Amino acid sequence: MNFKMNEAMEILERTPETLAVLLTGISKSWFTCNEGEGTWNPSEVIGHLIEAEKYNWIPRLNMIIDEGEREAFPPFDRYSHLQKKSASPIEHKLDEFKLIRAENTKKLKARIQTKEQLELTGLHPDFGTVKLRELLSTWVVHDLTHITQIGRVLAKRYSEDVGPWKEYLSILKK
């Protein structure tokens, strides 16, 4: 097993700043691109990350610690952010994400006191028994997935503009 709490925190604490550096102050046209029907643009991805901060990670962590497997997690609607269309600039969304993430990492540090807690289990509505360590690992990989997704969406905006170099740009081949 590769999971180490301190290493997980390195990613979780850096994600908001990573996204802010990438997305703050760039032209609005970057935020309208996506990978086709049914995919998300960078602003929608940030909306999804905010919803996950509110309704997924810490609530499930608390359920594992407080309830164990007595009750399944409430389902998380991965698309709920699409119902909350916001005209606010991406900078506002990034600020909200940064604030909520800071609160959540503080809560995470306060709730996890021992390595033994990482083996506590909860009940996922689709997967059944899951460990706290698995939830935290998923949180980290979820961040990295969406950082990669945003990079891919931005790159694909210039897909036709790179000409023959497209052959060498693996990000454009997925």
83-126 pLDDT, tens digit per residue, is 766 667 899 999 999 999 999 999 999 999 999 999 999 999 99
CA 100 to chain centre: 12
Q: Does residue 60 lie within any of the structural domains?
A: yes
Q: Does residue 153 lie within any of the structural domains?
A: no
Q: Quick one: average pLDDT of 123-146? A: 97
Place of tokens 């925190």: 9
Q: Does residue 28 lie within any of the structural domains?
A: no
Question: What pTM was computed for the model?
Answer: 0.93
Q: Does residue 77 lie within any of the structural domains?
A: yes
Q: Calculate the dihedral angle through the C-alpha atoms of 115, 119, 121, 126, rounding to the nearest 10 degrees.
A: 120
| Number of domains, the chain | 1
CATH number at residue 119: 1.20.120.450
Q: Does residue 155 lie within any of the structural domains?
A: no
pLDDT in tens, 4-47: 999 999 999 999 999 999 999 999 999 889 998 989 999 999 99
Q: Does residue 11 lie within any of the structural domains?
A: yes
Q: Does residue 122 lie within any of the structural domains?
A: yes
Q: Does residue 66 lie within any of the structural domains?
A: yes
Range of the domain at 131: 5-22+38-148
| Neighbouring C-beta atoms of residue 100, cutoff 10 Å | 18
